[in-house]
Amino acid sequence: MAESTSMRLRLPLICIILEVILIILFGLLVEYNDDTHAKLWNANKTHSATRNDYENEFYYRYPSFQDVHVMIFVGFGFLMTFLQRYGFSSVGFNFLIAAFSLQWATLMQGFFHGLHHGKIHVGVTSMINADFCTGSVLISFGAVLGKTSPVQLLVMAIFEVTLFAINEFILVSLLGANDAGGSMTIHTFGAYFGLVVTRVLYRPNLDKSKHRNSSVYHSDLFAMIGTIYLWMFWPSFNSAITNYGDPQHRTAMNTYYSLAACTLATFAFSALVNPEGKLDMVHIQNAALAGGVAVGTAGEMMLTAFGSMIVGFLAGTISVLGYKYLTPVLESKLKIQDTCGIHNLHGMPGVLGAVVGAVTAALASPEEYGQGLQKVFGDVKTGDWDPQSKGGFQAISLAVTLGMALFGGLLTGFILKLPIYGAPPDTHCFEDGLYWEV
Amino acid sequence: MAESTSMRLRLPLICIILEVILIILFGLLVEYNDDTHAKLWNANKTHSATRNDYENEFYYRYPSFQDVHVMIFVGFGFLMTFLQRYGFSSVGFNFLIAAFSLQWATLMQGFFHGLHHGKIHVGVTSMINADFCTGSVLISFGAVLGKTSPVQLLVMAIFEVTLFAINEFILVSLLGANDAGGSMTIHTFGAYFGLVVTRVLYRPNLDKSKHRNSSVYHSDLFAMIGTIYLWMFWPSFNSAITNYGDPQHRTAMNTYYSLAACTLATFAFSALVNPEGKLDMVHIQNAALAGGVAVGTAGEMMLTAFGSMIVGFLAGTISVLGYKYLTPVLESKLKIQDTCGIHNLHGMPGVLGAVVGAVTAALASPEEYGQGLQKVFGDVKTGDWDPQSKGGFQAISLAVTLGMALFGGLLTGFILKLPIYGAPPDTHCFEDGLYWEV
Amino acid sequence: MAESTSMRLRLPLICIILEVILIILFGLLVEYNDDTHAKLWNANKTHSATRNDYENEFYYRYPSFQDVHVMIFVGFGFLMTFLQRYGFSSVGFNFLIAAFSLQWATLMQGFFHGLHHGKIHVGVTSMINADFCTGSVLISFGAVLGKTSPVQLLVMAIFEVTLFAINEFILVSLLGANDAGGSMTIHTFGAYFGLVVTRVLYRPNLDKSKHRNSSVYHSDLFAMIGTIYLWMFWPSFNSAITNYGDPQHRTAMNTYYSLAACTLATFAFSALVNPEGKLDMVHIQNAALAGGVAVGTAGEMMLTAFGSMIVGFLAGTISVLGYKYLTPVLESKLKIQDTCGIHNLHGMPGVLGAVVGAVTAALASPEEYGQGLQKVFGDVKTGDWDPQSKGGFQAISLAVTLGMALFGGLLTGFILKLPIYGAPPDTHCFEDGLYWEV
């Protein structure tokens, strides 16, 4: 067994090969954009009286980027430390696959979002987008947590990032969909992709590791570090790439209210579904975040605080109920072993967010948005915009996303099933000792 | 006992009822402000050459908001995890009552700070103010930590937020007081309110839970996460709602120096008051923060780094001495059981901050502030300003705050004494197992 | 023994004396700068149409400052909690010496960076610089961690801050060197200073405390909090004091890519050097950060993402190899007991960063930088600039830094050897119980 799960050669090989490929491709394809290039930025300044240093996109976006960055590395990383003996792997593998994914995503997204004379232009916005794509991979990681080797996770990331970029391209560039906070592109995609992967990797004898598939007191506190950071910075996440000015401001605020309402729903239903009325840390750690997922599409629209709170309350409710009633069924009937319950935190709330986004878009009007309409719905400018068809395209985007996730997860799952990655045996899942010096 | 403390129905009922009321009131009363409304922001832009997207208040305030947000949810939440078996409740109930309070505070503060044609206008500044008000509730939570049910805490928050908003209205709108960092409105109010509540809820037999009312090694490290975040972001807290430009910049810097000096005083006196010269984590976790509290009023004024450091040093000193000599007396003589020692961190330093603010205001002069005088003291514009009377109004504000806190705490304490909230018995205080699945 | 290590009088005395001296010197020497002074800032505004509140340096620098601040207090503090029974001291002494150093650094840097009519002007940039200097002291702390009393550490900080400021003055003001992220001034200086100090303080019988000089499961997770925060915010660190606009933007991005590549190298080599292919938390906690150190000089230049990734990959590689093969040799042959392995994280990567900076500067050209050249290389303006000599001065700067660090460390080491500071005996190193109530 020690032989078959050894990372001695497997992990160095894949890491070094991938990084060398990345470096070569970056050398061939990646260039500074107008705001990061010494010559271009300062040339712009000279030719135009209106470009001052304070208008560099850095000052609009970098604080949001850093909040997103914290969500990716601390938020996701620590959220998954709830398992009693899997903290090193949770934070560590999260770190590894995120560091890989953000580089690979820069290339894939740059390729699909439009090359400039054959080159990919990078700046803080591409950094945020790369972190977003990484988030999707980390969501899927939650489904297979404890049952995969780091090599498997890197292979998963290669495929998932690629398919994410294609799906994002279809939604944003072809269908003109709005999805600034990624209810569809990030959460729905990441969740169903991961669920299909874990279905394909189904382990009938996983109960051999059952005693380690639970938390202890301190591991739950470490996980709360992740939860709270995700919760606090979700307003930054949803608003990070919206247009400047009112949309960014509004998105952050809508998300803030959605999360607050979601938290009350989470506590309410967590106590209600427990025979003794005791709160369950699993719910608090996860369901309280569903409100951020569920306003990921509509957050930049004129959803209002009122609308955001309703959506958040619903999201928290379905998320707790999902953990209590749906997850066990998914495992026993559909053979979907979802370690972190991503279906409840990202899957259902992501779909809810997509639907809310479609409805809110369909209700948009020039009377309500005034000259701000074009800032939210880019296609106003091209004259193609009418609210009903917009709503329809949003709905189609959800369907496309689900299709891509299911297809992609299936393909990736079968690739991950090959017995070459050093996956843990059923008896040693959820155990740091397999891959770490402890 | 299990029956009488069950949250099965109590907690869902109060959470759902409160959230439904909040949603209805938000639907009726809350609107986007000029900087978050798609139509209004972009109409402003068209009519005025000087409003560009980078002038949206989002870019001035959102980074400060996020720092404040971290203080509220991570800072307060983890600071209270020092108890050995109360980490879930500390972080969890902090999360719950903060999520409720920020919504309720939006309404209460919006109501008292001035309606616009009967509507409450919201944006990032109202979000910061709501978080500030929430901070006050969390300070009071520190006094009753471990001895209250989540339902009791929500009821306390209902009343405390309301009275906070009234007190803030009296100070800021009627008396024209300066209190950007809340030495009075947040810290003094929250501390004395909480102390009176815990006095009314006095438990003569609390020593039955004495063995759990202390820390263990790792719980003290979790608490240091809270401490350090509060310490680092206090400059953002005090400067979050000051005027743009020099006041915001100056406030952050004054707070930075006050905290640094406070930290040295804390280590000095912590070692000095211990017979063996050993440092006490309780002091480091708490007293080192008193410097932030104590420049909460004067921080935006021309206090200078020199003045800030003197204030910080004093604050750290009285805070450590308070923990060592005053807290035991408060408990034995006055029957005030103050779990976190909020009197030492928020009470006395808050009063110190109010006094420093009054003196600094009384010493202000146009010679020193130049045309910046009006940015700090808004009443310069109205012609009502003269430094001595300004100092007097600051002192009156402290008295009003103390009165409101004592009256409010008394009222709220008696309401919380009703035997309907599922409060923990004396034998099961400071114990997560009562309300959580562990 | 208890007598000889008691902090009862030693610590209060040094803290109070130092803080009183600081307060007096601040009172005599420190003034608000143009952006923090009420009169000066608003006078500027009146006289010039182009100074608006949004141009206050606060809005350009404060978010970066807060990220740096988190690195100093959470990053360094928690990174060192990996020891099983030294968490209080790691976070606590880090807190103490950082709070002292930032005040002392304000004076020393202000003195050397140019007085204004005999006064030191302070604002957010001086706050960042003070935090930077503090970082250098904390690096040295890593070498002597567990083997020093808090009084010793404060004495070390007095000398190190002073010598840091002198070295920085020579590099930046006399030699005109570029070193925005401090590969030389912060990392190389702090590392070699600390290594020489720990060499002078060599303890031949340190193996008496060997059983405590290692981690336990949860202490490694606390340390990962430090690691991840350092990793995430390093882009802010390197870009915090670069010029506005493209240099700040570019530096953050270069650092982001360097760190990502470094992380893959770290995982690869950590598995490769272990006989069973198991990952070592020491490597992940430390070596993954070397990529940030290594682009500390060249990050603001047109290094490109491609170049940054190569540098990051190299830095991670040498850092892991250093931990595995060099650290044991340093201890056994050179008698350098380096608790945290700062030579691998700050020493070698710092030197690498200096070399990369010299080469990148030597390759700079007006064709590549356009009008942005002067923003990166200030001496373009004075006409003294030519790329080859620039590269030469960068190389000389490295040599000066190494010399200053070795000389300063030697001097400070011998001062710290005096038997008056209450240093821990060989049998009680790496033990909180000596200085803390546990």
Q: What is the pLDDT of residues B320-329, one digit of tens each?
A: 999 999 999 9
Cα–Cα distances in angstroms (integers) from residue B162 to residues B25, B105, C287, in the given order: 15, 7, 51
Interface mutation vs chain B, best among A229, A266, A267, A321, most B CBs within 10 Å:
A267
Is residue C213 a contact partner of residue C327, using CB atoms and an 8 Å limit?
no
Chain A (204-263) residues lying within 8 Å, Cβ to Cβ, of chain B: 217-218, 220-221, 224-225, 228-229, 231-233, 236, 244-250, 252-253, 256-257, 259-261, 263
Q: Do B7 and A225 touch (CB under 8 A)?
A: no
Residue owning tokens 């809810």: A352
Is residue A12 a contact partner of residue C271, using CB atoms and an 8 Å limit?
yes
Q: Is the pLDDT of residue B289 over 60?
A: yes
Q: How large is the average pLDDT for residues A109-120?
A: 93
Query: CA-to-CA distance for A2 and A425, rounded, in angstroms?
Result: 10
How many CB pairs below 8 A link B and C? Answer: 211
Contacts 24+ apart (CB under 8 A), B89-92: B89/B146, B89/B432, B89/B435, B89/B436, B90/B145, B91/A221, B91/A224, B91/A228, B92/A224, B92/A279, B92/A281, B92/A284, B92/B436
Q: Is the pLDDT of residue C167 over 80?
A: yes
Report residue A385's pLDDT band, with 50, 70 and 90 as the boundaries: confident
Beta bridge partners of C83: C215
Report residue A378's pLDDT band, with 50, 70 and 90 as the boundaries: confident
Q: Do C99 and B264 touch (CB under 8 A)?
A: yes
Is residue C7 a contact partner of residue C13, using CB atoms and an 8 Å limit?
no
Can you give the pLDDT at residue A383? 76
Q: Do A46 and C371 touch (CB under 8 A)?
A: yes
Q: Is A274 on the interface with B (CB under 8 A)?
A: yes
Query: CA-to-CA distance for A331 and A335, rounded, in angstroms?
Result: 5
> Tens digits of per-residue pLDDT, C244-282?
999 999 999 999 999 999 999 999 999 999 999 999 999
Query: CA-to-CA distance for A242 and A249, rounded, in angstroms?
Result: 9
Report residue B1's pLDDT band, with 50, 70 and 90 as the boundaries: very low
Residue owning tokens 């409100």: A291
Q: How large is the average pLDDT for residues C57-83?
A: 98
Q: Scanning every residue of chain A, which has its alpha carbon at the shortest distance from the alpha carbon of C251?
A: A36
User: Average pLDDT of chain C?
Assistant: 96
Q: Is A436 on the interface with C (CB under 8 A)?
A: yes
Q: Is C94 on the interface with A (CB under 8 A)?
A: no
> Tens digits of per-residue pLDDT, A132-159?
999 999 999 999 999 999 999 999 999 9
Report residue C221's pLDDT band, with 50, 70 and 90 as the boundaries: very high
Chain C (346-405) residues lying within 8 Å, Cβ to Cβ, of chain A: 368-373, 375-376
Q: Do A265 and B37 touch (CB under 8 A)?
A: no
User: Average pLDDT of chain A?
Assistant: 96
Question: Which chains reach chain C with 3 or more Cβ–Cβ distances below 8 angstroms?
Answer: A, B
Question: Which chains reach chain B with 3 or more Cβ–Cβ distances below 8 angstroms?
Answer: A, C
Interface mutation vs chain C, best among B56, B246, B377, most C CBs within 10 Å:
B246
Query: CA-to-CA distance for C229 and C320, rounded, in angstroms?
Result: 20
Can you give the pLDDT at residue C385? 81
Q: How large is the average pLDDT for residues A103-132?
A: 96
Is residue B265 a contact partner of residue B289, using CB atoms and an 8 Å limit?
no
Can you give the pLDDT at residue B46? 65
Can you give the pLDDT at residue C366? 93
Task: Please provide the distance, in angstroms rounded to a whole number, between the alpha carbons at the two ends of chain A.
Answer: 18
Q: Do A236 and B66 touch (CB under 8 A)?
A: yes
Question: Comparing C-alpha atoms, which of C387, C379, C298, C245 is closest to residue A42?
Answer: C245
Residue owning tokens 């001097």: C411
- Kindly report the pTM of this predicted structure: 0.97
Can you give the pLDDT at residue C383? 76
Q: Do C15 and B264 touch (CB under 8 A)?
A: yes
Report residue C317's pLDDT band, with 50, 70 and 90 as the boundaries: very high
Chain C (301-320) residues lying within 8 Å, Cβ to Cβ, of chain A: 302, 304-306, 309-310, 313
> Tens digits of per-residue pLDDT, C390-403?
999 999 999 999 99
How many CB pairs below 8 A link A and B? Answer: 209
Q: Scanning every residue of chain C, which has its alpha carbon at the shortest distance from the alpha carbon of B50?
A: C52
Can you give the pLDDT at residue B49? 54
Q: How large is the average pLDDT for residues B246-274?
A: 98
Can you give the pLDDT at residue A114? 79
Q: Which of C55, C60, C371 sits opposite A43 (nearest CB)?
A: C371
Distance from CA of A394 to the nearest CA of B (A): 20
Can you give the pLDDT at residue A1? 45
Task: Please provide the distance, in angstroms rounded to a whole number, between the alpha carbons at the two ends of chain B.
Answer: 18
User: Average pLDDT of chain B?
Assistant: 96
Report residue C103's pLDDT band, with 50, 70 and 90 as the boundaries: very high
User: Which residue blocks in C299-434 are alpha helix, DSSP H?
Assistant: 304-321, 327-334, 342, 348-362, 366-369, 373-376, 379-382, 387-416
**The two three-digit tokens of residue A326, written as one number:** 């749906």
Report residue A3's pLDDT band, with 50, 70 and 90 as the boundaries: low
Q: How large is the average pLDDT for residues A361-371?
A: 95
Q: Which of A59, A220, A267 sits opposite B11 (nearest CB)?
A: A267
Dihedrals phi, psi of B83, to nearest 5 degrees: -65, 145
Q: Is the pLDDT of residue B384 over 80?
A: no
DSSP, collapsed to helix, strand or coil, labels residue C279 as strand
Q: Which of A229, A260, A269 sits opposite B12 (nearest CB)?
A: A269
Can you give the pLDDT at residue B383? 75
> Tens digits of per-residue pLDDT, A11-51?
999 999 999 999 999 999 999 999 999 999 998 776 655 67
Is residue A89 a contact partner of residue A436, using CB atoms and an 8 Å limit?
yes
**The two three-digit tokens of residue A169, written as one number:** 């391209």
**The two three-digit tokens of residue B166, written as one number:** 């009234």
